[in-house]
Each structure stands twice: as structure tokens, then as C-alpha cells.
Amino acid sequence: MSITSAPTDVDTAALRARLRQRIDQKTKPLGSLGRIEALALQIGLILRTEQPVLLQPQMVVFAGDHGLAARGVSAYPPDVTWQMVQNFLAGGAAISVLARQHGLALTVVDAGVRHDFEPRSGLLIRKIAPGTADALAGPAMSDVQCAHAVRVGREVVHELPGNVLLLGEMGIGNTSSAALLLARLTGEPIERCTGRGTGLDDKGLAHKLSVLSGVLATHQSAETPLQALAAFGGFEIAMLVGAVLQAAEERRLVVVDGFITGAAVLVAQRIAEGEGHSIVESCVFAHRSDEAGHTLMLCDLGASPLLDLGLRLGEGSGAALAWPLIDSAARLLCDMASFESAGVATAADSSLLD
């Protein structure tokens, strides 16, 4: 089931002006709700209405394994990917708890996990292959696999109800893929893009940097966004790229979690730029991750995250934690009284008392 498309003939400048006026007329001093006011304005612009209602928010976690994980770039073994998917579905993971708390529909997508899951509620099995290939030895994905994964990500979103998409991921080794994508697409040194991921010590971080430097050298010709995505992986990131592109086309509000989901947005934004439009305007960035490189990524995207809590869990946990702020901003825009409707005097009215 897909959402009804938002109107396409809206005068954005006029809508922005009406939204700004509506916010300024609420029963509060001008600007007193700080960044919540900017968030409310953004929500209205994304959904193209002065009275946005956030419908059936969907938390979607894409999961996939990475061949590069065998090179020791993570503190955890690859089997943790499928074990955590089971934990998501059993309700025991952080994102499971947060989704329940905030009434978010949770869907887990097997994009390419090296495990055969039994069909069950809340799981979509869309496996491209049982994990990507070793990116140090060759491309993580073939061009065909990459295009297929992006297309499936689009299809997953198109079939979901609601007008809000919250993004999450799971995949041992995927901070490596995100760091590689950031380095290649921004030109930043890999040393500035690479962090400790699941908790590598200094020796482990040095090894990870050595491996990633080798991967970049192996794929010097992978310059376009899709070439880089195929070279560095993974299946879950490629599906996230498709999900972001589809959600933006359908004028859904996209809540971006952290470093890995941000890498998918970076790829999607580069693709969109090549087609003359933007993805970022549809995205609310939930938080600034503690993962090295995320601040660089946010700066490149011109994004201001809502939270800065030292998070580096992934799973969509930051997106879920930011959800109450997003929901509150929309409700304030719709339900908060104006000075006129409440019969409350404005600051300008005080001049009448002089």
C-alpha cells in the first residue's frame, strides 16, 4: 500500500511564507521555541501543507553482511548480523524497545544476511546474496546486484503506508563501507572518515585503516555514486539508497539515523544532484553520531542534527529517539492556538497601554 502523493503544484516560496506567519502567530514570543520552529517549518514544506499530520510512521531496518568483515575491520564477528536480526524480531534490541515505546511500525529487511531466516511477521526477506564480496579483492557488488538492491529498496518503501520513513541498518563491517563512501564521494582522507565502529582498540583501528586504504586503492576508478556504492557495499546500504530516493519522490518525511544511513543519503544526494534536484530537503537528521567521520558527512550535506548524545549504536535508535521532537513540532504547528484565536494580547498590543 503506497501513500497518496503530496500535491506537486505547490508554490514553495508562498507556502514557506504562510508557514512562517502561522508559526509566528502562535501564543509565544517570536522564536521562543528555537529549533523546533525550524523543524515545524521543514515538516510543513516536506508534506506541502500548513497543517501537517504525521501518519503511520514506519521504522525500517535494512540488514546485510559484508565480505570485508572477514578482514577483521570490526570488533564483533560476522554472525552478530543475523543474531541481531533475530533480536530485533524477538523484541529485545534497543530499536525494538524504542519502536514499541513510540508506536513506530518496525520492519526488518533481509537485504543480504548470511543466514536463512524462517518467514515471520515483521521480516521482509529480500536477500540479494548471502553477503557482499570482499571489497579488497574486487567490487563488493556487481553493477547488476547494486542496481537490483537500489530497486528493491524503492519497492519496499512504495509498499509501506504512512508519510514518514525512519531509517535503520544492521551489518557487521558497515561502518567501513560508510567510511569508504564518505572518502570517495567527498575527497576527504580515509583517516578522517574512519572510526572505531563497534569498539575497536587502537591496534584494531590501525588495522582497519590499513585495510580501507587498500580498498580505496583497489577501486580508484569507482568515481560515480553508483560505482562507489557497488565497489564498497553493502546490500543494506544500497537498499537504503533506494528507500531514500523513493521516499523523497513520494514526499515522505525521511528521518535519518546516523553514520551508515547518512552514507546512504550521501549517495542518494549525489545521484539526485546529477539529475538536478535535492534529497536533503526531505530529510530530518536525527543526531550527530560519535562515529568519526559523521560530522564531516553532516557538513557536506549541510545538515543540522537534532540531537548530540554520543550515540553510535545504529539500528535506527537515534531516529527513534528523535521521533518525539518531530512529532511535537508537527503537533505544535497544527494544534497550538494563535494570539487571535486564544484572545491573548500580543507584544504589539502593549503599545496601546502607553
CA atoms of 115 and 69, how far apart (whole Å): 15
Q: Give Cα separations from 273 to 167, 227, 245, 267 (angstroms).
A: 21, 16, 12, 10
Give yes or no for residue 246 having a pLDDT over 50.
yes
Q: Is residue 84 part of a domain?
A: yes
Q: Active-site positions? A: 315
Q: CA-CA distance, 198 to 47, in Å (whole number)?
A: 36
pLDDT at 1 over 70: no
Whether 225 contacts 242, CB under 8 Å: no
Confidence of residue 347 (pLDDT cuts 50, 70, 90): confident
336 CB-contact burial (10 Å; exposed 0-12 / middle 13-18 / buried 19+) = middle
- The CATH code of the domain that includes 290 is 3.40.50.10210
Q: What is the arithmetic mean of pLDDT over 208-218? A: 98
**What region, left, alpha or beta, does residue 151 occupy, with left being phi > 0 and alpha being psi -120 to 50 degrees?**
alpha
Question: Omega before 234 cis (within 30°)?
Answer: yes
Do both 42 and 114 map to the same domain? no
Within a domain: residue 274?
Answer: yes
Is 87 within the bounds of a domain? yes
User: Where would I find the H helices in 122-280?
Assistant: 143-158, 174-186, 190-193, 202-218, 225-232, 235-249, 259-274
Whether residues 123 and 25 fall in one domain? no
Range of the domain at 49: 12-53+331-353
The reported pLDDT for the residue numbered 5 is 44
Percent of the chain whose pLDDT exceeds 70: 95
Range 164-183 average pLDDT: 98
Q: What is the pLDDT of residue 200?
A: 95
- Considering the domain architecture, whether residues 64 and 151 belong to the same structural domain is answered as yes
Q: What confidence score (pLDDT) does residue 310 get?
A: 96
Say whether both 184 and 223 belong to one domain: yes
- Same domain? For 34 and 182 the reply is no
- Which of the two residues, 238 and 4, has the higher pLDDT score? 238
181 in any annotated domain: yes
Q: Are 39 and 130 contained in the same domain?
A: no
Report, as an integer, the average pLDDT of 247-270. Answer: 98
The reply to whether 152 and 79 lie within a common domain is yes
- The label of the residue with cell 529485545 reads 92
**Residue 3 in domain:** no
Confidence tier at 346 by pLDDT (50, 70, 90): confident
Q: Is pLDDT of 152 > 80?
A: yes
Using the predicted structure, report yes or no on whether residue 350 has a pLDDT greater than 80: no
Q: Specify whether the CB–CB gap between 165 and 253 falls below 8 A.
A: yes
Residue 336 covered by a domain: yes
Radius of gyration of the chain (CA): 21
Q: What crossing angle do the helices spanning 94-102 and 317-335 adopt, rounded to 10°?
A: 10
Q: What is the pLDDT of residue 253?
A: 98
Report the number of distinct structural domains present in the chain.
2
CATH code of the domain containing 348: 1.10.1610.10
Q: Same domain, yes or no, for 107 and 238?
A: yes
Is residue 19 located within the same domain as residue 117? no
Q: Are residues 341 and 236 both part of a single domain? A: no
The per-residue pLDDT for 10 is 78
| Rounded Cα gap, residues 63 and 65, in angstroms | 7
What pLDDT, in 10s, does the model give residues 21-40?
A: 999 999 999 999 999 999 99
Question: Which helix (DSSP H) or strand (DSSP E) does residue 131 occupy?
Answer: none
Residue 280 confidence class, pLDDT cut points 50, 70, 90: very high
Q: Does residue 225 fall inside a structural domain?
A: yes
Mean pLDDT of 106-132: 98
Can you state the angle between helices 174-186 and 202-218, rounded to 10 degrees?
A: 50
The pLDDT value recorded for residue 162 is 98
Instruction: For residues 310 and 346, state if they share a domain.
Output: no
pLDDT band at 287; cut points 50, 70, 90: very high
Q: What would the mean pLDDT of 10-20 be, rounded to a whole number? A: 94
Residue 7 maps to a domain: no
Please check whether residues 62 and 48 belong to one and the same domain.
no
Q: Residues with Cβ < 8 Å from 354, sequence gap 6 or more?
A: none
Find the length of the chain.
354
